[in-house]
Structure 1
Amino acid sequence: MMAGFDDALGVIGLSAGYGGRTIVHPLDLAPVAPGQVVSLIGPNAAGKTTLLRALAGLHPAQGSVRLGDRDLLRLPLADHARFVTYMPQSLPQRVALTVLETVVSALRASPVDGAIGSDQAILARAMEVIDRVGIGALAMTGLDHLSGGQRQLASLAQALARGPRILLLDEPISALDLHYQLRVMKLVRELAAERGMIALMVLHDLSIAARWSDRILVFAEGRLVADGPPAQAITPDILASVYRVAADISGPPDRLHIDLRDILDD
């Protein structure tokens, strides 16, 4: 069921960094409504991952991050994690747990709807998520025996099992083949609509970001330079300014075709 608009995500004056450096400069975002999928794009070192980690409570940050009437940055990390789940680019490599065990652990740590349930119910729920991601055949395989792409899918299953209100995905399709890239994007959109979940993800493929996102945030040097529907946020002028490339863009708003023509001199 769709959550109410009072549970929108609001970001006011958020800044974050580490090592004495400010990576994300003060950022204000118009509310992100439940069910929306938002993609963060921009060149390397633009501050996208730092922003996700700040939203997840994993980096020191100043400002306000509100979910409805809750200021998430003021919550203890354990309470913060009840609402927000962060999926990094990869899981730790030397983990002996199976895919099923990692998802079961996630369910026990953050039971959906606040109910842990019986062991049988937990296993059934875990397998439901694993199957929906498309890796049922890998359920009993150890994470240390998976390819990079398989590990990304296992990490996604673990994140989805937590039933977050806000799902933060850092390059969730970077190691996947074309089939699973589309499968993951379709699944995130479906679950966002079904659960009223807000999904924010870092993507490098602009065509995929445009196809599957309600809204695009473009970052450069730790600052937000564009924010809007794909056709408004991905334009030749913005690509020239942010990426230093010349591009032609055509097609309807939900099927933008981006033709990269050349690099631009600095």
Structure 2
Amino acid sequence: MTKMLSHGDALRIEGLTTGYGGHVVVDALTLAPMLPGQVVSLLGPNAAGKTTLLRALAGLHHASGAVRLGEVDLLSLPLADHARHVTYMPQSLPQRVALTVLEAVIGALKASPIAGEPLSGHAITERALDVIERVGIGHLAMEGLNHLSGGQRQLASLAQALVRQPRVLLLDEPISALDLHYQLRVMKLVRALARESGMIVVMVLHDLSIAARWSDRIVLLSQGRLVTDGPPAEAITAQALADVYRVAARVRADADGLHIVIEDTL
């Protein structure tokens, strides 16, 4: 994987405003720097602006303000150059794609090759197969994407994102279609890769307990604005859940992690 990055390569978001169709969804958002090796989860109810923020960071929505990765001004880059630094995994792959899993992962690497590391055809295939195996779908490498289940397609999409070895990996609900085994496998893999490479991972999740267990940091949003930002035990509180989700909850932190019990609606 790529070398460990310094804190000078942090992702900085300042005064970010973005939306679509003439509608502002995220308004003047500023976050503390996201550091290399961190796993950051975006939480919040529906329409909180999580996916819109993620797509703006991916260069897929127009945005104003500042988004910088180290010394790189991401908002000023053409999409092809932006993709060399940042990789986005959407909620689902396009339907009816007549490619095998291996072909799709190889295509992702060729579309956005790793800077300074020209690869031969054999090396590209080996890298793609290695990532497919790490994701846990080596047995599906020669299967067509159009023959996979929703969960299998989600894993293939993750392999496409990881093979590019991005500096920033953006994941939109990466475990929504997965069973418990693969949910755990994906979360362990994503955190391990962040630690190994210094990659910054920013993902949208809905499961509070999974986010609390596997994230270094939680960014809780509501109506496009920041509510809380910090380590899980500081960001996920009973008061925050009442304010944002309108639920009564008990939240307790101990040596085993953060325990969240939702008791009723408000």
CA offsets 1:180-228 (integer angstroms, 9 cap, x no match): 0010000000101111100000000000000000100001111111100
Q: Distance in 1 between matches of 2:69 and 2:45?
A: 28
CA offsets 1:47-86 (integer angstroms, 9 cap, x no match): 0000000000000100000001111001111111100001
Please list, as runs of the form range in 1=range in 2, the aligned pairs for 1:1-266 lying within 5 A after superposition.
1-252=3-254, 255-264=257-266
CA offsets 1:217-241 (integer angstroms, 9 cap, x no match): 0011111111000001000000000
Summarize the Cα distance change of 1:105–1:172 in structure 2 as closer, same or farther, 3 Å threshold. Answer: same
Residue 30 of structure 1: CA displacement?
0.8
CA RMSD after TM alignment: 1.0
Q: Contact 2:84–2:114 (CA<8 Å) still a contact in 1? A: no
Q: Contact 1:107–1:116 (CA<8 Å) still a contact in 2? A: no
Summarize the Cα distance change of 1:254–1:61 in structure 2 as closer, same or farther, 3 Å threshold. Answer: farther
Say which SS state the counterpart of residue 114 (structure 1) adopts: coil
CA offsets 1:83-120 (integer angstroms, 9 cap, x no match): 00010000001100000001111111222343232211
Q: Distance in 1 between matches of 2:117 and 2:107?
A: 14
Q: TM-score, normalization: structure 1?
A: 0.97
Q: Distance in 2 between matches of 1:44 and 1:228?
A: 21
Q: Contact 1:129–1:160 (CA<8 Å) still a contact in 2? A: yes
Partner letter of residue 138 of structure 2?
G
Say which SS state the counterpart of residue 192 (structure 1) adopts: helix
Q: Contact 1:106–1:158 (CA<8 Å) still a contact in 2? A: yes
Q: Distance in 2 between matches of 1:57 and 1:249?
A: 36
Summarize the Cα distance change of 1:142–1:32 in structure 2 as closer, same or farther, 3 Å threshold. Answer: same
Residue correspondences, number: 264
Unaligned runs of 5+ in 1: none
CA offsets 1:221-265 (integer angstroms, 9 cap, x no match): 11111100000100000000000000001132761110110000x
CA offsets 1:136-176 (integer angstroms, 9 cap, x no match): 00000011000000000000000000111000000000000
Q: Distance in 1 between matches of 2:187 and 2:115?
A: 24
Q: Contact 2:50–2:204 (CA<8 Å) still a contact in 1? A: yes
Q: Contact 1:98–1:142 (CA<8 Å) still a contact in 2? A: yes
